[in-house]
């Protein structure tokens, strides 16, 4: 560190250099991210509330109220009229927290999860010293019910299902899973789907393809949903919702020298600007705003699907959400060669495929430019 600080101008020069090496969403080059540019209002609100740290809630009753309101609005999206929970740093912290409460509540260690689960489940398994039992997928890349049934036993703390898988956007059959799990805690990871599926349902765009996937299903005990993905809030914003308040007591730790007697989240000091930004964005966009956003992403997903088909690439599954994957034998090579051309796509390992997430920053022009590059890359390999 310098002894005498640099002038702001000098630091600006450094920042500019770093900024130039980063890839912005507005470049139209990012096709493999589940995040996007936050709503401009979200950014503005974030910086206004950045110091109202919910790690010390007694000082910030206004931000506490915004957090309650966010949990209640997300509860409304996920069909739970009286939700409990918090705004956390994202889907990883939400999954870890849900699994921790299930382990504490049950006194058991095993967790069943589909092979399509996000890797944060494995992080949680390691941190919490749990026993991981992966469940196979069926031909539609959803949790296989027969395999689930055969793996149920008395050692289970939790079953995890996914409503919107990271790689393909598949939605597990939550009602059918619920019939099998009995009174074992059932967590639905809708980190991505939570801000997509409610609006697809509202626009009748998934009728007959996706059954009830949220708290409408009685045995769902917890759900996670990230406003910092399709919710257009700033990072870090991920919600964990509990159907009942009592599991929260397993999280409670005495915090005697702070303004509230107990703390309930893994993080101490919390970036609560994101809580305010989430509140403001949800209030401002409303259901109509999110429906428009999701419709636009789905239209662009369809357009991308058509363009990929023109290149002779076959989709792995008909997209339910704004994620599309096409079969390819060498996705890593294609991904690397596309990156050399400054287009950032992603891949699926099983089945071997190229993956594209059609976030709000992915419009038809970026799609056309990316397809042009992809056509060249496919010719070259």
The footprint of ligand 0PR (CB under 6 A) covers 33-35, 90-92, 95, 118, 120, 162, 166, 189, 191-192, 226, 238
- Closest among 185, 282, 197, 160 to 242, alpha carbons compared: 185
Smallest gap, in angstroms, from Cβ of residue 94 to ligand 0PR? 7
- Residue 60 or 320: the one with the smaller Cβ distance to ligand 0PR is 320
Smallest gap, in angstroms, from Cβ of residue 92 to ligand 0PR? 3
Smallest gap, in angstroms, from Cβ of residue 194 to ligand 0PR? 10
Residue found by looking up tokens 């929970």 in the block: 85
- Residue 56 or 166: the one with the smaller Cβ distance to ligand 0PR is 166
- Residue 73 or 170: the one with the smaller Cβ distance to ligand 0PR is 170
- Residue 92 or 322: the one with the smaller Cβ distance to ligand 0PR is 92
Smallest gap, in angstroms, from Cβ of residue 323 to ligand 0PR? 9
- Residue 35 or 66: the one with the smaller Cβ distance to ligand 0PR is 35
Smallest gap, in angstroms, from Cβ of residue 81 to ligand 0PR? 25
- Residue 295 or 344: the one with the smaller Cβ distance to ligand 0PR is 344
Smallest gap, in angstroms, from Cβ of residue 165 to ligand 0PR? 6
Smallest gap, in angstroms, from Cβ of residue 229 to ligand 0PR? 7
- Residue 33 or 352: the one with the smaller Cβ distance to ligand 0PR is 33
C-alpha neighbours within 13 Å on the C-beta side of residue 276: 21
- Residue 95 or 301: the one with the smaller Cβ distance to ligand 0PR is 95
CA atoms of 122 and 159, how far apart (whole Å): 13
Smallest gap, in angstroms, from Cβ of residue 371 to ligand 0PR? 21
């Amino acid at each position: 560190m310098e002894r005498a600080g640099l002038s702001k101008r000098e630091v600006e020069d450094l920042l500019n250099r770093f900024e130039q090496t980063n890839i912005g969403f507005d470049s139209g080059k990012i096709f493999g991210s589940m995040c996007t540019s936050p709503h401009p209002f979200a950014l503005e609100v974030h910086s206004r509330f950045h110091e109202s740290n919910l790690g010390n809630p007694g000082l910030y009753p206004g931000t506490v109220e915004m957090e309650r309101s966010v949990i209640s609005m997300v509860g409304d999206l996920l069909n739970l009229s009286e939700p409990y929970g918090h705004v956390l740093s994202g889907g990883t912290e939400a999954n870890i927290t849900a699994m921790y409460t299930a382990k504490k509540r049950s006194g058991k260690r095993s967790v069943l999860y589909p092979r399509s689960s996000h890797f944060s489940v494995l992080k949680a398994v390691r941190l919490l010293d749990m026993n991981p039992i992966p469940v196979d997928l069926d031909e539609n890349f959803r949790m296989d019910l027969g395999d689930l049934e055969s793996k149920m036993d008395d050692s289970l703390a939790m079953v995890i299902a996914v409503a919107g898988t990271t790689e393909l956007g598949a939605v597990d059959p939550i009602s059918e899973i619920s019939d099998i799990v009995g009174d074992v805690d059932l967590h639905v990871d809708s980190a991505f789907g939570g801000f997509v599926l409610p609006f697809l349902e509202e626009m009748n765009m998934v009728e007959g393809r996706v059954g009830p996937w949220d708290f409408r299903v009685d045995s769902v005990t917890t759900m996670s949903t990230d406003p910092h993905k399709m919710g257009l809030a700033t990072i870090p914003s991920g919600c964990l919702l509990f159907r009942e308040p009592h599991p929260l007591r397993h999280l409670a730790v005495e915090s005697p020298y702070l303004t509230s007697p107990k703390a309930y989240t893994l993080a101490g000091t919390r970036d609560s600007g994101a809580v305010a930004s989430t509140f403001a964005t949800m209030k401002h966009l409303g259901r109509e705003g999110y429906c428009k956003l999701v419709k636009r992403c789905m239209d662009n997903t369809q357009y991308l699907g058509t363009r990929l088909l023109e290149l002779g690439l076959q989709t792995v599954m008909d997209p339910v959400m704004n994620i599309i994957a096409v079969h390819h034998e060498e996705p890593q090579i294609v991904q690397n060669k596309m990156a050399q051309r400054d287009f950032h796509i992603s891949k699926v390992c099983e089945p071997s495929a190229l993956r594209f997430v059609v976030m709000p920053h992915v419009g038809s022009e970026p799609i056309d430019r990316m397809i042009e590059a992809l056509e060249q890359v496919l010719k070259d390999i």
